[in-house]
Amino acid sequence: MEDVIRLMARGKPTIDDDGNEKPAVAYNRVLCDIRSVTRSEFYQAAQRGLHPSAIFVISNPMDYNGEMELEWTDPKGKKVIYDVIRAYHDPETGEIELTAEERIGSNG
């Protein structure tokens, strides 16, 4: 099953006419597969204070440029922001596996 995520690259914030800082974010739309986090991976990460909730697998490594945030729209239409806690390039398949943690309060 192929899903779509939007990788988020943060740039230098800009200042609007009123002097307010606006974050600069560039989005890169990428096809991926979503996998569950294994039990052992979950518990190993929890020992370090991390809480992985999904693994996003990108088949084309050229689509990933080190982004550490991503957005995924769940089947119910809610947009969820994730922080990438581990990026792994599988040398056998060429895929990039992004282990990610759902950002608390990001559903909306």
Q: Is residue 42 part of a domain?
A: yes
Q: What is the CATH number of the domain that holds 35?
A: 2.40.10
Q: Is residue 73 part of a domain?
A: yes
Q: Is residue 95 part of a domain?
A: yes
Contact status, residue 27 vs residue 5, Cβ threshold 8 Å = no
For residue 28, pLDDT beyond 50:
yes
Q: Is residue 19 part of a domain?
A: no
Q: Is residue 48 part of a domain?
A: yes
Q: Is residue 66 part of a domain?
A: yes
pLDDT score recorded for residue 107: 59
Torsion, CA 108, CA 80, CA 53, CA 104, rounded to 10 = -50
Q: What range defines the domain where residue 82 resides?
A: 3-10+24-102
Q: Is residue 17 part of a domain?
A: no
Domain count, the chain: 1
- When pLDDT is averaged across residues 56-64 and rounded to a whole number, the result is 94
pTM: 0.82
36-50, pLDDT tens digit by residue?
887 777 667 667 777
pLDDT score recorded for residue 93: 93
Q: Is residue 108 part of a domain?
A: no
64-108, pLDDT tens digit by residue?
999 999 999 988 999 999 999 999 999 999 999 999 999 987 655
Beta bridge partners of 28: 7
Closest C-alpha to 32, from 99, 104, 103:
99
